[in-house]
Amino acid sequence: MNTAVEDQENILKELLKTAKVTEFGKDHNLQQVSLYEEFIQAVPIRDYEQYKPYIEKIKEGKHNVLWKGKPIYLAKTSGTTSGVKYIPISKESISNHINTARNALLCYVAESGNTRFTNGKMIFLSGSPELERVGGIPTGRLSGIVNHHIPSYLRRNQLPSYETNCIEDWETKLDKIVEETIKQDMTLISGIPPWMQMYFDRLQEKTGGKKIKDIFPNFSVLVHGGVNFEPYRQKLFETIGHKIASVETFPASEGFFAFQDSQDAEGLLLNTNSGIFFEFIPAGEIFSGNPTRLSLKDVKVGENYALIVNSNAGLWGYNIGDTVKFVSTNPYRIVVTGRTKHFISAFGEHVIGEEVEYSLIKAAEEEGVHITEFTVAPFVHQGKGKSYHEWFIEFENRPADISRFADRVDNYLRQKNIYYNDLITGNILLPLHIRSVKKNGFIDYMKSIGKLGGQNKVPRLSNDRKLATALEPYIE
């Protein structure tokens, strides 16, 4: 925490030393670069599509392309913006994925004094650990790759079994997980919130509606990541039967970026000494030709930034597609605010994920409503009528008056986003409309496109109608 800026400067120096021997380094004259200011001039910001020619060479079996030698793995991920992506993991970068998860748990243990959970069984709801080979490199989902590196002191208590983890069909896998865990002393459960909720729901079906605390009396730690926890928090804790400690993480195939180091402090501690040099671009500039690039020492609290990574896996000026905001710079703690490509600006409002989640959660708390899942899309009226934002919401319990509930959500969004407010007050947009999705509608939709379970998640925001149109059959 105390040496974050210094550590970042040292990491950039170390990365540049290795870069000199790579094809990427030679293409960008990195042998002549030693300062961050020079690095900015030499290396442009890229997303996966612009990076692909280098990745293709790695997949052909070439050495020293982005990093020295060949990657030890390729993490295969179905990106929301680029189809299937292959992200390199090097011998030097694998420890970032393993040790950061360990550090998150050790911070929790140090602060809480709770070591009892290490005596019980732990479940990591993850992708299949079965790997294929691409260009001679073992390739698979990140969670499956990491599964091969779980330390021995955790492995003896790890569930589900390897065979169950290899099942591809999520519902079949979930039934097997329930079968293997229902009579065990589960003490830690980890995964993406919507899929943890499915696991809990299935456990309740099997036990006649018992609370999770009665099925697993020693369950005391919930580890989560992948999506914002807040929309799921209330329902998860209600299903469990009481509030328990939760540890939030921010992992991705491109690196493990941050983790919750304290139960009391807001935000996630940025992982500043783990082989990744971070850059930050004001979110509004991410698609401009010459965006402002900041290193850690120049960030400000409360600004929305696109997160850019340079790493010892061979990523350079890489836009991972997430936006973050610093809630503290001493130490450097962030919250994830959304995706660079997931926003609504069909009318110039630039509404982001953080704003819609805040608005919905506030309204739901006031009305005593529980939300299962939701997404938002613009409805652009082609005739004389006015356009609006259309919210597709699956309710656990519907509001008594859905129009009043929609007004509450709309008012909170107007408070959060001045551009949206101006469009409503200027009579350019109508207030938002809510369409109620039938029970399990989002699960059925994800199943229909082959993306049920694992690391897959429903986009919160779209700038077009593709998802909205696909959800039509699931409307109540």
pLDDT digits (tens, 9 = 90+) for 114-124: 999 999 999 98
Return the pLDDT at 81.
47
176 has a pLDDT exceeding 70? yes
User: At 179, which amino acid appears?
Assistant: E
**pLDDT tens track for 108-147:** 999 999 999 999 999 987 778 889 999 999 999 888 898 8
| Residue tagged 């979930």 (tokens) | 174
Return the pLDDT at 432.
95
In degrees rounded to 5, what are phi and psi of residue 227? -140, 165
Return the pLDDT at 78.
66
**pLDDT tens track for 335-389:** 988 777 667 777 777 788 888 989 999 999 999 999 999 999 988 776 666 889 9
- Find out whether the peptide bond into 160 is cis, omega within 30 degrees of 0: yes
% pLDDT > 90, the chain:
69
**pLDDT tens track for 246-301:** 999 999 999 999 999 999 999 999 999 999 999 999 988 888 889 999 999 999 99
Return the pLDDT at 394.
95
Average pLDDT for 435-459: 86
Average pLDDT for 310-336: 95
Instruction: Quote the pTM value.
Output: 0.82
**pLDDT tens track for 1-57:** 999 999 999 999 999 999 999 999 999 999 999 999 999 999 999 999 899 999 999
